[in-house]
Structure 1
Amino acid sequence: MDERVVKNLIIGFGKAGKTLAADMAGHGETVMLVEESNTMYGGTCINVGCIPSKKLIVEGEKGQLTADKKEVFARAMALKEALIGKLRDVNYHKVADLEGVEVVDATASFVDSHRVRLIGKDGETLVKADRIFINTGSSPNQLKIAGADSKRVYDSTGLLSLEERPDRLVIIGGGYISLEFAFMYQAFGSKVTILDAGDVFLPREDRDIAEEMLRVLTSKGIEVRQGARTERIEDHETAVTVVTNGGDIEAEAVLVAIGRHSNTARLQLDKAGVGMDNRGNIVTDEHLKAAPHIWAMGDVAGHGQFTYLSLDDYRIVSSQLFGDGSRTTLNRGAIPTSVFTDPTLSHIGLTETEARRQGLDITVRRLPAMAIPKAKVLGKTDGLLKEIVDNHTGEVLGTTLFCAESHELINLFKVVIDHHIPASYVRNMIFTHPTMAEGLNDL
């Protein structure tokens, strides 16, 4: 087996890995960037996550007034494929064309703490590296019941590339990925049923937000069944039967949306002395170090499966290599999140439930989305805006925005929370009109 020696080895072409590779090249360092699949240059977000799903959501919304939903679906899939193909190519060349960067298509596994075996189309290579960075991302969890191997059962990746729109879609799982696909396929004209095994809908959300989401889902004809445990899936010629404890459902497609897991199984991390938690994430310190010369970034580091956190993981590592080392996982402040439902659900900071559990003295402020003039202009009056304010300091502790454009608005509150800006400042801010942002005055 051939053996090579490199200074920097990055395993995974995700957001953190590709950005770090370019940064290293800019500092005159050499780096080998290993990616298992040539369809994943750029990472999950670009290829099978944020970008394709949001493109389909946008195209579905644009085509809601079109009678032929199957034509809308086919056009949306074609546009999505063209977009991700272009982005993947751009991402590849942004890194591969840099002096000092070598991109290798191969599967990586540790031999010991400094050596990694690469298996690619040209055989095996042993690589010894001074520094190793793991950025291998995550994959959808699989359903382990009879019939789950049916060709009509898909994970999120598969459902982003269907050739034909299903008339009926069953989604197993009641989390945020489930909701995004439910709204997406409802817009394409599918009859959507969500099977949530839990007894509480969206347990991490406050009840008023969860109830408003459920109301919106129902108003769009999306059925949500709580306490619905899927027992097996039976194949038929043109459909499947999903057998549950509460009755059978027929569908042309089934989406399994029961979470994701870190891609660590094939890395043989134990040989490198790298530890994992009980969820399969790599254990790191606040500098993302898993060993003195090994770092984990992105989904595998277990701090949240968001591409923007992967980017911030890069900043933390770069701070150690080329900066003053001050940036860590402990000082990156409040983290905003958005779920691209219709309208979008965005949150940052504490929920009301969490604040009360901590015994904090708070004021809770609510505003229905229909009270905002721009919501009426957009024809998107569903939703609820909510803010948690500390009565002693006047500071915003948390904000939930379930309304149109909330994925843009929520970023304002990162500045507000991180810099301890009082709620009274936001109340008196001057916003342009008509905008969704000016609703924050009234909130």
Structure 2
Amino acid sequence: MKEYDALIIGFGKAGKTLAGQLAARGWSVALVERSQRMYGGTCINIGCIPTKFLIHKASLAAASRPQSFGQRQDYYRQSIAEKKALVESLRELNYRKLADNPLIDLWTGEGSFISPHEVAVKGARSVELLAGRRIILDTGSETVIPPIRGLTESNRVYTSTTIMELERLPHRLAVIGGGYIGLEFASMYASFGSAVTVLESASELLPHEDRDVAEAVRGVLEKRGIAFRTGTRVAAVQDTVQGVRIDVAGEAEAAGYALEADAVLLATGRRPATGGLNLKAAGIQTDERGAIRVDEHLETSAPGVYAAGDVTGGPQFTYISLDDSRIIRDALFGEGVRTTLNRGPVPYSVYIEPPLSHVGLHEAEATGQGLDVRVNRIDVSTIPRARTMSSAEGLLKAVIDRSTDLVVGCTLFGPSSVEVIDAVALAMRHGITARELSEGIYTHPSMTETFNDLFA
């Protein structure tokens, strides 16, 4: 059995960041990753980078002159090839960054606990036993597969991972699930040229967003040709000679119906990937959703074993995983003052067209907590910069505490929101008042200059 100062399972953002930082302190490190195709983590291989690259390519396709579907097919095929090349280059860079470090050993195989500080790594040809004085779990999340008849037998059903390997653009795409992932892919494939239908089981789209924002999002996406069918329950999926048939069950007295498509994207959420870890052998507890229970320092119920990223059941963002690495680093080498309880407001963005970004409380949440707030709204069509970018649809919304004049929430549904929301989050984190934001001097024309009116 080989022993290490630190044993990390999972090549995600937190895992690879900590591996380099621990080695820089002279620690011996073992990093275990079950697949060579996942060196670098979810974001680089199957998440943020490939999806955002394809979303960018799709936006260029949408902005081009009208083309035949055959021309769009060729462009899509080339985009998939370029995405593959980008991912492979980043994967190699991430691999080399750790593999070339003499204090870091990379092990390819599935790691599972045999005791609180011992792990068996099952590779292609052998099983290696490793021990770690400290262990960090960063195994990410996996797609939830709902119990829909015929789903697993179909050759035309894809997840957010496998559809990005599809080299032929679907003429008709059905998306099961109208959450953030489903909407991103729906928007992207509509821009590439697919006819997209979104099937959402909830009665309303984006239930976590305020209704005015959700309605604005739906309206903009419908104008782009995306069809939404809410309150639907998919009963069965079956491949046909021409494509795939989706049977939708009727509600109450309503009759069911069938939908024909060339491909189906399953976007029904993700869950922590803990299946093969054998957590019981280490005494590591999980919650009812299967997420690893951690304290505010990200330490599990097993002393000296930490968990970071999606596997803890928190927000599924790469930047959260990065911040988790800082919390664990502070717990190991600092004063332990950095915790999950004091990281402040966390922004998020949904890369539809235009993008939807948010930080802090929604209006309904603020009023539900009893806060006395004022709400400012701006229609994106009135913003000069949006018009210069030919992207004049959307809604900006600020929620401001009347008593303190502090911004408690902000939603930006419009161009450049993925960049601008970070400025709002920074202001909220440092207690900058709405008045200070409204009286700032900003470049013109820019989306940031809307702060003059949005926070007035």
Q: TM-score, normalised by structure 1?
A: 0.98
Q: Residue 357 of structure 2: SS of its match in structure 1? A: strand
Residues 295-306 of structure 1: pairs in structure 2 closer than 5 A: 295-306=306-317
The residue type equivalent to 1:312 in the other structure is D
In 1, Cα distance between equivalents of 2:375 and 2:271: 35
Candidates 69, 81, 103, aligned match of 2:72: 69
Q: CA deviation at 1:296?
A: 0.2
Give, in angstroms, the shift of residue 47 of structure 1: 0.5
Task: Look up the SS of the partner of 1:266 in the other structure.
Answer: coil
Q: Greater CA deviation, 114-123 or 360-369?
A: 114-123
The answer to whether 1:141 aligns with 2:144 is yes
Give the equivalent residue in structure 1 for 2:253. none
> Letter of the aligned partner of 1:259 in structure 2?
G
Q: Does 1:348 align with 2:359?
A: yes
The reply to whether residue 80 of structure 1 matches residue 91 of structure 2 is no
Give runs of aligned pairs for residues 258-297 of structure 1, distance below 5 A.
258-290=268-300, 291-297=302-308
The answer to whether structure 1 residue 428 and structure 2 residue 439 are counterparts is yes
Runs (5+) with no aligned partner, structure 2: 250-255
CA distance in 2, matches of 1:206, 1:256: 25
Q: Which residue number corresponds to residue 369 of structure 2?
A: 358
Is 1:237 the equivalent of 2:241? yes
Please say if residues 60 and 72 of structure 1, whose CA atoms lie closer than 8 Å, have aligned partners that are also in contact: no
Aligned residue runs from structure 1 range 77-156, under 5 A: 77-149=80-152, 150-156=154-160
Identity level (%): 46
Equivalent position of 1:418 in the other structure = 429
Work out the CA distance in 1 between the residues paired with 2:98 and 2:2: 21
**1:193-212 correspondence to structure 2 within 5 Å:** 193-212=197-216
Q: In structure 2, give the amino acid aligned to 1:55.
A: F
Give me the whole-angstrom Cα distance separating, in 1, the residues matched to 2:235 and 2:441: 55
Q: Which residue of 2 aligns with 1:386?
A: 397
CA RMSD of aligned residues (A): 0.9
Tell me which residue corresponds to 1:323: 334
Tell me the distance in 1 between the aligned counterparts of 2:386 and 2:380: 7
Q: Give how far 1:122 is off.
A: 3.2
Q: Any idea what SS the aligned residue of 1:63 has?
A: helix
> In structure 2, what residue type is equivalent to 1:124?
V
- Which residue type is aligned with residue 375 of structure 1? A
CA distance in 2, matches of 1:436, 1:198: 33
- Correspondence for 1:183 among 170, 182, 187: 187
Give the match's secondary structure for 2:420.
Answer: helix
SS of alignment partner, residue 203 of structure 2: coil
Q: Which deviations, in whole Å up to 9, do the C-alpha atoms of 1:101-144 show, x marking residues without a partner?
A: 00010101111111111100230111122111000011111132
SS of the residue corresponding to residue 289 of structure 1 reads: coil
Instruction: For residues 323-378 of structure 1, give each alpha carbon's deviation from its aligned partner in whole angstroms, at most 9, with x where no partner exists.
Output: 22211101110000000000110000000000111111110000011111010000
Deviation at 1:10, TM superposition (A): 0.2
- For residues 204 and 240 of structure 2, the distance between their equivalents in structure 1, rounded to whole angstroms, comes to 32
Where 2:219 maps in the other structure, the secondary structure is helix
Q: CA deviation at 1:94?
A: 0.9
Structure 1 unaligned spans of 5+ = none
- CA displacement at 1:238 relative to structure 2: 2.8
SS in 1 for 2:161: helix
CA shift for structure 1 position 301: 1.3
User: Counterparts of 2:420 and 2:101 in 1: how far apart (Å)?
Assistant: 36
Would you say the 8 A contact 2:246–2:259 is kept in 1? yes
Letter in 2 for 1:59: K
Q: Which segments of structure 1 move beyond 6 Å, counting only runs of 4 or more?
A: none
Q: How many residues align?
A: 441
Q: Does the CA-based 8 Å contact 2:271-2:313 persist in structure 1?
A: no
Q: CA deviation at 1:322?
A: 2.3
Report the more deviating stretch, 144-153 or 50-59: 144-153
CA distance in 1, matches of 2:23, 2:3: 17
Q: Partner of 1:216 in structure 2?
A: 220
Match of residue 312, structure 1, among 297, 310, 323 = 323
Contact kept? 1:169, 1:253, Cα under 8 Å: yes
Give, in angstroms, the shift of residue 99 of structure 1: 2.3
Question: Partners of 1:247 and 1:42 in 2: how far apart?
Answer: 43
